[in-house]
A and B are shown apart, each in its own frame.
Chain A
Amino acid sequence: MKLLRDIWLIFQRQMTLVLRNPVWVIVGIIQPLYYLLLFAPLLKKALTQAGAHTDADVYRLFVPGILVMLAIFGTFFVGFALIAELRAGVIERSRVTPVSRLALLLGRSLRDVVSLLVQCLIITLLSIPFGLKARLGDMLLAYLLLGLIALMLSALSYGIALKLRSEDALAPLLNTVGQPILLLSGILLPLALAPGWLQGIARWNPFSWAVDAARALFDGHPGDASVWKALIILGILTIASVTWTARSFARSIR
């Protein structure tokens, strides 16, 4: 009970901070919006090979990918905020109270998941005029997938930030890891178009499974094998990353 109460307290404060300065939430959806408006129209011809013949087909392939990209890049960089908080002394102020150390992490990650889902909802709604269609149940399952990605990557980002404790070290690391994840996930173009060796590498990227699953869901196939596979893979990775970071939170923020 104390844990839930503490998580709620930290989450509330973190939401207040976001709502007082929502510019990052807005900036976060601008990039996917650009892709949606300025890049997707290019794809119609390129995607005929992947089975897209109408504008609606293109968006049904492209929007799920964009949402996964948003989930990755919207949460992978949250560690920067933690470093700023360490510097401002607010972490230390929490540390001298009996507040649960796990709540210090989960309250923050929960904030990241909520703001990501709001961003995803905005992008989804904006895509409807372009012909995007999906069933509510499938959508909710896709959002669960996106929420898992957000939870996993935000916890991971906090864990890394706590180890490095410097923006100068964090930025290059996150970029180096983030870029190949993006390119190997089939977000911008389906990996069906890729040569065999590239597909082989991409199979090891958990996010390419997430992209496949999100596409299947937006296409109305919740029973597709990629869906449960992605949920299991991401579920395990999320548990691993939360456990790892929670431990390092408890240790270094004792």
Chain B
Amino acid sequence: MVYTAAATRMEDEIQREFDELVRRYYRQAYNLAYRLTGNAADAEDLVQDAFLRAYRFFDRYDRSMPFMNWFSRIMTNLYIDEYRRRGRLKTVSLDEPLQTEDGEEGTTLDLPDPRLSPLEIALDREYVDAIHEGLQQLAPEFRTAVVLADIQGHSYEEIAEMMGTSIGTVRSRIHRGRKQLRDYLLKRHPELFERGDLK
């Protein structure tokens, strides 16, 4: 049938385009998921769920926009709505002693690939873990806003659109998130805030 052939070709094309996007952005997506969820198992689930949802609603993807803008929106909404509803978010109190990362977690946090960004080598492993832990102490909304702004490099306007809030809310979430993270890090690693050339 002409119709069947055309439909199959159309499906194939969409499939190929989607596969290409997954391959290209998978690493970045996983990184975002890992920083949001805080551990490898949840990050894997979140990435998979987000890509599934992206695939299902692929016709809504505006090709004139960067894929990661659209995809980050799907992922952060999925993370905030669904993972919180399911009670999968670990909320750790600030007074609780720090959990040292075990071997399984350690394998997920590899040393940075020097080909990607030479700047990333600068931070000690100890500090990387501390910042990551500190991010996990924040409320999900604060963490999401901070991660989207500082790791993904989105503007406040883009974050507001992704999180479905006003720019004022984004501003206050980022500000409060950074202040809480600073207090957390100041308590544990005050040397990070000594004058230095860390830029």
Query: Is the A/B pair a real complex?
Result: no
